[in-house]
Amino acid sequence: MAGLAPPTQIISAVTATRPMVEALFDELRGATLDHPGVTRAPYGEGEAFAHAMLARKARALGYEVSHDLALNTYVTLPGRDRSAPVLMTGSHLDSVPHGGNYDGAAGVVAGLAALQALRALCPQPERDVTVMAIRAEESVWFQVSYVGSRGAFGILPPAALDSATRIDSGRSLASHMADQGADVAALREGRRHLDPARIASFVELHIEQAPSLLEAGRPIAVGTGIPGNFRYPDITISGEQAHVGLPRRFRRDAALAGADFATGMDRIWEEHEAAGIPMATTIGRFHTDAALHGMTSVPGRFLMSLDVRAYDEAVLAALERRVLTMVAEIESRRGVRFDLGARASAPVGPVAPLVRECLERQAIAHGLDWQPLGSPASHDAATFAAMGVPMGMVFVRNANGSHNPDEAMDIDDLMAGITILAGWMLESATASTAG
């Protein structure tokens, strides 16, 4: 950090942003409260408020504000060399239904605070520094991953615009985007706003979504990677609806087939965990057909979803082969049929070594208590990595998990994360852009 502001000055500049940070979270919570928790549906009222709030605050602070075809919001501190690749940070502003106030939003608020600290220390950095507020990250709504970030790069699958429907309205993604003013026609054509070659690096700060930091007693972590995934959101198992008195040898029980599948997936996870291979599998929906089920009926139809994630593409491919093999075995043994439905996937998000080293260097220089940590969840930063942009992540301790109203991030912990972000910005944005 030779030649840069000493850690004490960076900490002082970050500390000065705390009133703004707290006020933004209070305003966001107050406007999107939906007991229990908050709801900021993508391309809906709550998310739109959050983006408008950020734009209003950023303009009042004197930053450049712009939007892209998918309505992502960009807040920029102009640099001396505006042709140089830009330094970027940010996260999403949508939430799950009745979620917490910090999931996603913490990264956007932290980005703005870090930008304020950077400007206090260096009013005109060598390159542009931009905070990106991303649309529609929470795939629960449309069952499509990374809508906003993929839209920014022009890689959102055109078919998803019409086939993906929002869970609360039943209307298409294209319809909701158009209502908010997005350029749906341009997105269909694959037009892009972000050019990977024009981005120096991207760092996303996010609350931790598992209790690892809480368990370790540390406020922050530097990310080591983001898992990729494959998903089958709408699996249907078809058997035969039958009378409760039917002997076992005649049954085609769809519910028991579902149970076999669930326990099989858990065995696969247990095997990988014992071998030291990180992965996770989640069956989020798991139920008989409410229109047909009853205490004295053998279930002929069973519905569920599957999410499988891992940090290595080869591991993911092998896991999917095992899933398909297991499905065939259960079909044969139980006399049922699986319809896996539409498949979705997201690539593994590798962290760039140089970005990770810089983030770790900032944590050490500022005397922060930190640890390396692999993300248990998917994040928009993975889209940047997939496009070849050097990517890194910072995680902030958060009690009670996320995707629920009881998120319990401490502002003190967030300020530590903002300190890392500000230090990374100062080091990376003040380096010469020549050559």
Q: How confident is the model at residue 279 (pLDDT cuts 50, 70, 90)?
A: very high
The residue-averaged pLDDT of 63-89 equals 98
What pLDDT does residue 434 have? 65
Predicted confidence band at 2 (pLDDT cuts at 50, 70, 90)? very low
SS3 145: coil
Taking each helix axis from N to C end, the angle separating 7-15 and 411-429, rounded to the nearest 10 degrees, works out to: 130
- Mean pLDDT for 127-136 is 98
* Binding-site residues: 92, 103, 138, 206, 403
pLDDT at residue number 401? 85
Average pLDDT over residues 274-282: 96
pLDDT given for residue 1 in this prediction: 39
pLDDT (mean) for 188-207: 98
Question: Which residues, at least 6 apart from 328, have a Cβ–Cβ distance to it below 8 Å?
Answer: none
Q: Cα(37)–Cα(18) distance, rounded to whole angstroms?
A: 23
Q: Say what the pTM is.
A: 0.88
pLDDT tens digits for range 225-248: 999 999 999 999 999 999 999 999
The residues, any chain, with a CB within 8 Å of residue 20's CB and separated by 6 or more, are: 57, 112, 113, 116
Q: What is the pLDDT of residues 37-66, one digit of tens each?
A: 999 999 999 999 999 999 999 999 999 999
Does the pLDDT value for residue 373 go beyond 80?
Answer: yes
pLDDT beyond 90 at 347: no
Which CATH superfamily groups domain 7-227+348-429? Zn peptidases (3.40.630.10)
The segment(s) of the chain belonging to CATH 3.40.630.10 are: 7-227+348-429
Q: 40-44, 267-271, 289-293, 414-418: which has the minimum mean pLDDT?
A: 289-293
d(CA 50, CA 73): 10
Q: What is the pLDDT of residue 122?
A: 96
What pLDDT digit, counting tens, does each position of 385-421 carry?
999 999 999 999 999 989 999 999 999 999 999 999 9
% of residues, the chain, pLDDT over 90: 94
Q: How confident is residue 268, by pLDDT bands cut at 50, 70 and 90?
A: very high
Q: What is the pLDDT at residue 3?
A: 52
Q: In the chain, what is the straight-line distance between the N-terminal and C-terminal CA atoms, in Å?
A: 21
Alpha-carbon gap, residue 157 to 342, rounded angstroms: 14
Q: Is the pLDDT of residue 283 over 80?
A: yes
How far is the C-alpha of 427 from the C-alpha of 435, rounded, in Å?
Answer: 17
What is the residue whose two structure tokens read 């739109």? Answer: 48
State the chain's mean pLDDT as an integer: 96
Q: Binding site for Zn(2+), residues? A: 92, 103, 138, 206, 403
Q: What is the pLDDT of residue 435?
A: 52
Spatial distance between the Cα atoms of 326 and 318, rounded to a whole number of angstroms: 12
Rounded to the nearest 10 degrees, how much is the dihedral formed by the CA atoms of 208, 209, 212, 214? 70
Peptide bond connecting 7 to the previous residue in cis, omega within 30 degrees of 0: no
Reading the block at residue 85, the tokens are 């690749």
Question: What is the CATH number assigned to the segment(s) 228-346?
Answer: 3.30.70.360
The pair phi, psi for residue 247, each rounded to 5°, is: -60, 155
Strand partners of residue 408: 399
Residues 217 and 224: their CA atoms lie apart, in Å, by 19
Which residues of the chain are in CATH 3.30.70.360 domains? 228-346
